[in-house]
Amino acid sequence: MTVFNHVSFDDHENVVFCHDKQSGLKAIIAVHNTNLGPAVGGCRMWNYNSDDEAINDVLRLSRGMTYKNALAGLTMGGGKAVIIADPKTTDREALFLAFGRAINKLGGTYYSAEDVGVSTSDIMIANRETPYVAGLEGKSGDPSPYTALGTYLGIKAAVKHQRGVDSLKGLKISVQGVGHVGYYLCKHLHEEGAELIVTDIHQASLDKVATEFGAKIVAPEDIYAQEVDVYAPCALGATINDTTIPLLKASIVAGCANNQLAEVRHGEKLKQMGVLYAPDYVINAGGIINVSFESDYDAAKSTAKVEKIYDTLLQIFSKADEENRTTADVADEMAKHIIDAAAKS
Ligand code: NAD
């Protein structure tokens, strides 16, 4: 196992391995870059198959947060934490208290929040040991509805750019993962008249969107080959890969999942196929934008800033066309420019 030579290591400032014998906490916190401010990014709890898988995830996710926060215009750096454990663990108090102590030791260089497998109530527990957490109940709260709003507007931007239309009415949209964000996304899409095809591994979540929004349910392995206009990955990362790309019928890939492209070359492949890809960290920034208002919460200001995701994506799509580059490459360049400028100031 290696960190400095790891394929996903990207000049991360700090990678901390945390262990607490009593609670059984095994976590990794990665601070990628603090040029723009303290690193902020959620904590994911997952049954990783190996420590290396967890390291890869935290290195990639924390880098994504630096880029996401920069392009969203936030004065925050990028970081992320992963807890290696079953996300369905019921005995969570000791675990999240220990996690809170681990964050506290970083002295405010990293602020945590919820992510996959972690809820706001877990972060409330960590908050008993550290002030360096965000997305708390009674403050900015659950970021998911804001992530969903940004993702919905991002899908509209992609449709506008590719087809010149403002409405999603009658479009077929497949959604992989109808959890916290996926549910609210389906609500927006349904209210605008889109036809939904959904999948998940959790039956109760599927039943809810089928009942409330008339969504058609398909098996997880069948989601990629659906005859749809837009594919929205809203579960885990790396679902755009060598196996799934040949199956895709959608001409737009736009969803909230982090790290959707398994590798950079998969973005190039989508471009060659004429598939418009909305870079994940741009379209899914709504939640972190909402979290950035934590200290002096204002829902209207937060919503107005989330709505800017639409314009940022239109700018990226146009530049990518003009320069014959991938949208992911253009987004990275724009973000790097902001991060490098902050280092010099
Ligand atoms: P979540 O855990 O609430 O939802 C994920 C859903 O995906 C769950 O319902 C789960 O059962 C389902 N799922 C897991 N594996 C699957 C598979 N193989 N096939 C189909 N469905 C599967 O998480 P969330 O908060 O909704 O986040 C979803 C994605 O968006 C994650 O990648 C997360 O990192 C990203 N994201 C979330 C936020 C946020 O505000 N919550 C912000 C930015 C990015």
Q: Which one of 68, 80, 156, 305 is the catalytic residue?
A: 80
Question: CA 134, CA 293: separation in Å to the nearest integer?
Answer: 10
Question: CA 68, CA 289: separation in Å to the nearest integer?
Answer: 10
pTM above 0.95, yes or no: no
Q: Which of 43, 201, 294, 309 to mutate to test the pocket of ligand 1 (most atoms within 8 A of CB)?
A: 201
Q: Is 119 in the pocket of ligand 1 (CB under 6 A)?
A: no
Q: State the chain's mean pLDDT as an integer.
A: 96
Minimal-distance CA residue to ligand 1 atom 21: 200
Q: Which of 65, 123, 147 to mutate to test the pocket of ligand 1 (most atoms within 8 A of CB)?
A: 147
pLDDT (0 to 100) of residue 211: 98
pLDDT at 99 over 70: yes
- Which tokens hold the place of 263? 């590798």
Going from the Cα of 184 to the center of ligand 1, the distance in angstroms, rounded, reads 12
Interval 153-173 mean pLDDT: 98
14-59+76-126 against 144-339: fold identical: yes
Handedness of CA 134, 138, 142, 143 (dihedral sign): negative
pLDDT (0 to 100) of residue 133: 96
Decide yes or no: CATH 3.40.50.300 for domain 144-339.
no
Q: Is 305 a catalytic residue?
A: no
pLDDT (0 to 100) of residue 21: 97
pLDDT (0 to 100) of residue 236: 83
Q: Is 33 in the pocket of ligand 1 (CB under 6 A)?
A: no
Beta-bridge partners for 97: none
Interval 26-42 mean pLDDT: 97
Question: CA 280, CA 217: separation in Å to the nearest integer?
Answer: 24
Give Cα separations from 17 to 24, 62, 176, 274, 316 (angstroms).
13, 14, 32, 42, 36
In percent, the amount of the chain with pLDDT more than 70 equals 100
Going from the Cα of 257 to the center of ligand 1, the distance in angstroms, rounded, reads 6
**Burial bucket for residue 262 (CB in 10 Å: 0-12, 13-18, 19+):** middle
Specify the CATH class of 14-59+76-126 in words: alpha beta
Cα-based angle 244, 233, 57 (whole degrees, multiple of 5): 85
Query: Which pLDDT tens digit goes with each residue over 233-280?
Result: 999 889 999 999 999 999 999 999 999 999 999 999 999 999 999 999
Question: CA 147, CA 283: separation in Å to the nearest integer?
Answer: 8
Beta carbons of 339 and 66 less than 8 angstroms apart = yes
pLDDT (0 to 100) of residue 137: 85
**Burial bucket for residue 281 (CB in 10 Å: 0-12, 13-18, 19+):** buried
pLDDT (0 to 100) of residue 38: 97
140 vs 98 pLDDT, higher one: 98
Sequence ranges of the domains in the chain: 14-59+76-126, 144-339
Query: Which pLDDT tens digit goes with each residue over 56-84?
Result: 999 999 999 999 999 999 999 999 999 99
Interval 135-144 mean pLDDT: 88
pLDDT at 344 over 80: no
pLDDT at 144 over 70: yes
Question: CA 232, CA 210: separation in Å to the nearest integer?
Answer: 17
End-to-end CA distance of the chain: 36
pLDDT (0 to 100) of residue 1: 64
pLDDT at 142 over 90: no
pLDDT (0 to 100) of residue 213: 98
Instruction: Tell me, letter by letter, the H, E, C secondary structure of the chain.
Output: CCCCCCCCCCCCCEEEEEEECCCCEEEEEEEEECCCCCEECCEEEECCCCHHHHHHHHHHHHHHHHHHHHHCCCCCEEEEEEEECCCCCCCCHHHHHHHHHHHHCCCCCEEECECCCCCHHHHHHHCCCCCCECCCCCCCCCCHHHHHHHHHHHHHHHHHHHHCCCCCCCCEEEEECCCHHHHHHHHHHHHCCCEEEEECCCHHHHHHHHHHHCCEECCHHHCCCCCCCEEEECCCCCCECCCCHHHCCCCEECCCCCCCECCHHHHHHHHHCCCEECCHHHHCCHHHHHHCCHHHCCHHHHHHHHHHHHHHHHHHHHHHHHHCCCHHHHHHHHHHHHHHHHHHC
